[in-house]
Amino acid sequence: MTSASDRDLLTRLRERGARLGVDVNGVLWVRKQGVRDALTDDLAAELSARKAAIIALIQEEDAAITWRIEAMNERISANGGRVPGEMVAREGIAGTSGICRSCGEAMKTQQTRKCVFCNLAALRVPEQQLVHRD
């Protein structure tokens, strides 16, 4: 089970410059990327105490991004290998306020056309295409 305070901890760590991920074996990794003292002793202790929940949160995020990347790659394949002008995860999503135009899911902020997961997926799709190119 994860809670709002687990989400809050993850957000605070990221705001301090820490990058976190979960490897294929389900092991949490933390990269500070040159940001000094990103992980204070207090934060490290908090992270340690809530490690299982943080791992679950990151895995949820990874899954949310992965299905979008796969959907976008399928659209590129269906488009003869050309990247569409606007990369979306699902076709035919109406432009309604508060709804992501790419996946159709509700967004927490209304500042962008696409949700965070769709934006992250769209950034990674060209890389995936290059990786798969012979």
> Residue 44 or 119: which CB sits closer to Zn ion?
119
Closest distance of CB 105 from Zn ion, Å: 5
> Residue 22 or 64: which CB sits closer to Zn ion?
64
Closest distance of CB 16 from Zn ion, Å: 26
Report the half-sphere exposure of 73 (CA within 13 A, side-chain side).
Answer: 17
| Chain residues in the site for Zn ion (CB under 5 A) | 100, 102-103, 115, 118
Q: Which one-letter amino acid corresponds to residue 76? A: I
Rounded to whole angstroms, the Cα distance separating 126 from 122 reads: 8
Where are the alpha helices (H) located in 4-50, listed in sequence order?
Answer: 4-15, 41-49
> Residue 9 or 87: which CB sits closer to Zn ion?
87
Q: Which string of b and e fits 41-70 if b means at least 16 CB within 10 Å?
A: eebeebbeebeebbbbbbeebeebbeebbe
> Residue 78 or 106: which CB sits closer to Zn ion?
106
The answer to whether 44 and 17 have CB atoms below 8 angstroms apart is no
Closest distance of CB 117 from Zn ion, Å: 6
The answer to whether 103 and 93 have CB atoms below 8 angstroms apart is yes
Closest distance of CB 88 from Zn ion, Å: 8
